[in-house]
Structure 1
């Protein structure tokens, strides 16, 4: 196998790892080849796009969360387009090894098509401030492509040396005002529920009264994020999960019910089944293997739990 094909196979391997970890943002850069490897590249890119769209528009990954503007990465460039500063998130996403004093050209992290777009853009209106957006495809260290809309702002000072360009990637933005209003209402509702539940607990059982501090709420949210990200893992006994976030078992269980209206166990089960549903619906992985990959020790137990949740079995979903 020649060196180019080895790189193409390596990119496919990295893409599969990203898909397996529920990261559907990346794409593999297309080549001019017309072979089986290229066919697999096309298939994986389409699969990632379909999975990403289903999660964003149908809320399958986390039906309780809101879609908001998320700044994923930002870069500050000097007048020569050298990166002066980069956000930590951007470095992680692109898998960049950054050291103090590094100044690397921004164009290094673009694929060939985007390099041409960037050069054309930089040739327009040099020396003048502006704000605009464009679609660019960033290239990771593992040869994956991240096609995203970028917001580019050039800021000009009193001298040429003060010219800076800020490039920002926004992951998603939809119906922002409506979502902000819904988020505000949900926060206020949650605060009221917390107050009622605390008073109710104190009245019914003064020996077990609980007051959730802001730090408690932060740690409970972190526990929820951990379960959402890795639903295939086991979090039993709960006291082990509670200890990980610096609280006792009772406070974690109580806080989870107050903040999210479900028990830790039910939330974990729902998160695990949502991941399994995606894998059944959008992959050719055998159902028994999906059961094991989502943390079930028995395919039969997985099928029963799945049917109890959705009203149909995994095999019925796969057939349709």
Structure 2
């Protein structure tokens, strides 16, 4: 994992954003450096732990007035430890797309310490047809944050004869939405125009669309699949995904992606020393010309003019 000063600061920024959203289950892996950034990381982890513990305690003590969000990490692996199935919640937690997880070794997303723990413990459990245990694992997100959590590990034989499978589960407690969203609790009528394109969204549909929103924010450097393929990945249909997203967030999925890419690019131009080419690439723009044209259309200046 890179450990440059810029990367360390970016992890701190990402951690602060997650805390602002009410997610207190992430930490930053301490480095062996002894500088101001390292001290800030230690203090931030301590503050995060204290706030998270206070919120969880308050939630149990006063559950009616303090809503909790239970986020499930769940993966199915084959006996070699390769990911075969993954939930949408897991992708949101690890800030990646399903295709970035499926087919990969689970140890690729672990710290070195957890890789050793996994390799040592799973040898014994895979010798049995059925086995259950709890392992404390540290998973690394796409942003370099750490998910340190007790994970329930279940080894079982697949009914289709495909051999042993490993089920990895964990539960995260969160404060939930930090601000009032104004969304109704049961159903939301979605319309386009006056009487056209009526869709009924359940609470599960709304949560699914929020996951798409978060997935886009966490993967601005990647191209989205087609709406049809994205809907299939999220377990819904293209129609509901398309019009539901527009009603909740006021814009289309692909327009939102472009807006967020440009917004992040503007921040990096103003507050980083990255080259314009690097900024364009890391935000999903295929060419400097395309980036410059889109940026000028949005902000009235080219990236070069803004930085100059």
Query: 1:147 offset after TM fit, Å?
Result: 0.8
TM-fit CA distance, 1:160: 8.5
Distance 1:100 1:110 in 2: 14
1:245 equivalent to 2:182? Answer no
Q: Which residue of 2 aligns with 1:165?
A: 166
Instruction: List per-residue Cα deviations over 1:206-265 (Å, max 9, x = no partner).
Output: xxxxxxxxxxxxxxxxxxx99x5424x7x6xxxx989x9349xxxxxxxxxxxxxxxxxx
Change (3 A) 1:120 1:101: closer
TM-score, normalised to structure 1, is 0.51
> Following TM superposition, by how much is the alpha carbon of 1:19 offset from its aligned partner in structure 2, in angstroms?
1.3
Q: Secondary structure at the match of 2:85?
A: strand
Size of the alignment, in residue pairs? 187
Change (3 A) 1:58 1:83: same
Paired position in structure 1 for 2:11: 11
Shift of 1:70: 3.8
Q: CA deviation at 1:16?
A: 1.0
User: What residue is the counterpart of 1:134 in the other structure?
Assistant: 135
SS in 1 for 2:51: helix
- Gaps spanning 5+ residues in structure 1: where? 173-224, 248-320
> Could you tell me whether the CA contact under 8 Å between 1:127 and 1:156 is conserved in 2?
no
Question: Alpha-carbon deviation of 1:92?
Answer: 1.0
2: distance between equivalents of 1:66 and 1:76? Answer: 32
When normalised by structure 2's length, the TM-score is 0.53
Shift of 1:54: 0.6
Mapped to 2, the partners of 1:31 and 1:94 lie a distance apart of 21
Q: Distance in 1 between matches of 2:57 and 2:101?
A: 42
Distance 1:15 1:111 in 2: 18
Question: Within 5 A, what are the aligned runs for 1:275-294?
Answer: none
- Aligned-partner Cα distance in 2 for 1:43–1:230: 25
Higher relative helix content: 1
Answer yes or no: is the 8 Å Cα contact 1:55–1:61 preserved in 2. Answer: no
Partner of 1:88: 88
RMSD: 3.6
Match of 1:48 in 2: 48
Equivalent residue number for residue 179 of structure 2: 230
When structure 1 is superposed on structure 2, of 23-32 and 63-72 the one drifting more is: 63-72
CA distance in 1, matches of 2:20, 2:68: 24
Cα contact 1:79–1:161 (8 A) shared by 2: no
* Greater share of strand: 2
Q: 1:61 to 1:87 in 2, by over 3 A?
A: farther
Deviation sequence 1:79-129 (CA, Å, 0-9, x none): 110000001100111012223994111111111221111111122243312
Question: Residue 27 of structure 1 aligns with which residue?
Answer: 27
